[in-house]
């Protein structure tokens, strides 16, 4: 058995539990029964997949409660408070209702495509969790192309939305599916471009190494513009207000899932809330240091104050709260405003930010070389990554300030013709005269 040190179960819970299960299964299956070692590896993989599915389902149920509570407070309402204490069992009641309702399929719908649509939307949402680094020892598959895997898997959900709209044989659902494709493809471009600068800073596509590269300073301080672009594009990618045009009730009823009810509708709701948590977790990983404590506190002290999983979950839910806050505050955009904002604002801004990220890295390395006579050490450990971070911070601050003022000087908001309301006084109605006259 792997020896357990004091406090390891607190600071490294996944490592301790994983090692314990592996040693237990290895003793029972390999040593006692004489089975091959790959059986243990297969069981560990299945346990990891089970954990991801259960965690995603519980997260979805909690987020439905959290959103209704937060928006209720924003709108001066109480929110769910009947089922269970503080309404915590309301998601369970909603789930039971959706699972027990009859799923009615339109007569002229394409049955195969109709049923495949929700599955194609839900499966990518679960797969993203396989490369999310919850902690240094809690990454199911820390692929060396981690972010590329996320970008490729996340884009496939768009196909499921178009399939749902087309297979329903409903013109409103078809319009919602076409809107979803146009919107998601448009906003995926600035979303990926905003992350390229972070990948240049880390020198890797591996999610774990991107977190390691932020041991001294988080990427949000070096790439604030990229963080804002990523957040806006991600909100649009998961179809949240103010970018929920594929579900504009006043225009196309419920959009691509108009003809879905019961379990089919539940799948789309499941995918939306899981994607909200997933993109928040990706943002926390890429820009907020993931499991890292702020300002390299653990590196300076030589030990951890708070477990990494706590930092990761806290940062993720901070971004989730921002998305819920925006839903309770902002109105929905028009379709032309949505597309113009993507192609005329976010894409050019992301390209300029990418160029400045390359310039900033080159300048910081050049300044470090002038001072020490050698370039910063390569590697991904907190001890040698970005040895010249103190030279990079002022360089990136200057570049970001220059970009902000240049943007303010060049960008002109489109002129919108405003209506003028003129108050016209009207004479008071004549009073009736005694005797019947007026």
Spatial CA neighbour of 341 closest among 233, 246, 418, 417: 233
Q: How far, in Å, CA of 393 to CA of 390, rounded?
A: 6
Predicted structure pTM score: 0.82
DSSP string, 228-291: HHHHHHHHHHTT-TTS-GGG-HHHHTTGGGTT--HHHHHHHHHHHHHHHHHHHHHHHHHHS-TT
Per-residue pLDDT of the chain (438 residues; tens, 9 = 90+): 444 444 555 555 666 676 777 777 777 777 777 777 777 778 877 887 788 788 888 888 888 898 888 888 888 888 888 888 888 888 888 888 888 888 888 888 888 888 888 888 888 888 888 888 888 777 777 788 888 898 888 888 888 888 888 888 888 888 888 888 888 888 989 999 999 989 988 888 888 888 888 877 888 988 899 999 999 999 988 888 888 877 777 777 777 888 887 888 888 888 888 888 999 999 999 999 888 888 767 666 666 677 778 888 999 999 999 999 988 888 888 888 888 888 888 898 899 989 888 888 888 878 877 777 666 655 433 334 445 667 788 888 888 888 888 877 777 766 666 667 666 666 666 655 555 544
Q: How far, in Å, CA of 122 to CA of 160, rounded?
A: 9
DSSP string, 288-344: S-TTPPGGGHHHHHSS-SS-HHHHHHHHHHHHHHHHHHHHTTPPPPPHHHHHHHIII
- Write out the E strands in 235-361: none
Is there a contact between 364 and 391 (Cβ–Cβ < 8 Å)? Answer: yes
DSSP string, 109-129: S-HHHHHHHHHHHHHHHHHHG
Tokens of 126: 């679960």
């Amino acid at each position: 058995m792997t020896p357990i040190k004091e406090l390891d179960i607190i600071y490294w819970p996944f490592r301790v539990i994983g090692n314990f299960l592996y040693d237990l299964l290895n003793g029972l299956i390999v040593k006692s029964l004489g089975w091959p070692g790959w059986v243990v590896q297969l069981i560990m993989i299945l346990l990891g997949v089970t954990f991801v599915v259960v965690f995603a389902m519980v997260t979805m149920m909690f987020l439905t409660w959290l959103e209704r509570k937060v928006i209720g407070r924003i709108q001066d309402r109480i929110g769910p408070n009947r089922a269970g204490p503080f309404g915590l069992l309301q998601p369970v009641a909603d789930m039971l209702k959706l699972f027990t309702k009859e799923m009615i399929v339109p007569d002229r719908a394409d049955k195969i495509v109709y049923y495949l649509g929700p599955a194609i939307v839900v499966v990518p949402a679960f797969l993203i969790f396989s490369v999310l680094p919850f902690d240094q020892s809690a990454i199911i598959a820390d692929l060396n192309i981690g972010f590329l895997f996320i970008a490729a898997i996340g884009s496939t959900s768009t196909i499921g939305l178009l399939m749902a709209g087309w297979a329903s044989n409903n013109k409103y659902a078809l319009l919602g599916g076409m809107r979803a494709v146009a919107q998601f493809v448009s906003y995926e471009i600035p979303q990926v471009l905003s992350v390229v600068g972070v990948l240049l800073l880390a020198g890797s596509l591996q999610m774990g190494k991107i977190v390691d590269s932020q041991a001294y300073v988080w990427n949000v301080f070096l790439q604030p513009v990229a963080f804002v672009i990523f957040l806006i594009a991600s909100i649009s990618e998961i179809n949240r207000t103010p970018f929920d045009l594929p579900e504009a009730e006043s225009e196309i009823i419920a959009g691509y899932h108009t003809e879905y009810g019961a379990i089919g509708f539940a799948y789309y709701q499941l995918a939306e809330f899981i994607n909200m948590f997933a993109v928040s977790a990706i943002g926390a990983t890429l820009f907020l240091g993931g499991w890292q404590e702020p300002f390299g506190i653990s590196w300076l002290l030589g030990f951890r104050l708070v477990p990494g999983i706590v930092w990761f979950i806290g940062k993720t839910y901070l971004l989730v709260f921002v998305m819920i806050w925006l839903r309770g505050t902002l109105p929905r955009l028009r379709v032309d405003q949505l597309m113009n904002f993507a192609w005329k604002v976010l894409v050019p801004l992301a390209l300029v930010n990418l160029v400045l990220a390359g310039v900033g890295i080159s300048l910081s390395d050049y300044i470090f070389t002038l001072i020490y006579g050698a370039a910063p050490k390569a590697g991904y450990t907190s001890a040698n990554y970005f040895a010249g971070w103190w030279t990079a911070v002022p360089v990136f601050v200057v570049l970001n300030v220059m970009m902000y003022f240049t943007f303010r000087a060049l960008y002109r908001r489109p002129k919108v013709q405003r209506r003028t309301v003129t108050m016209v006084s009207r004479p008071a109605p004549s009073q009736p005269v005694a005797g019947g006259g007026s």
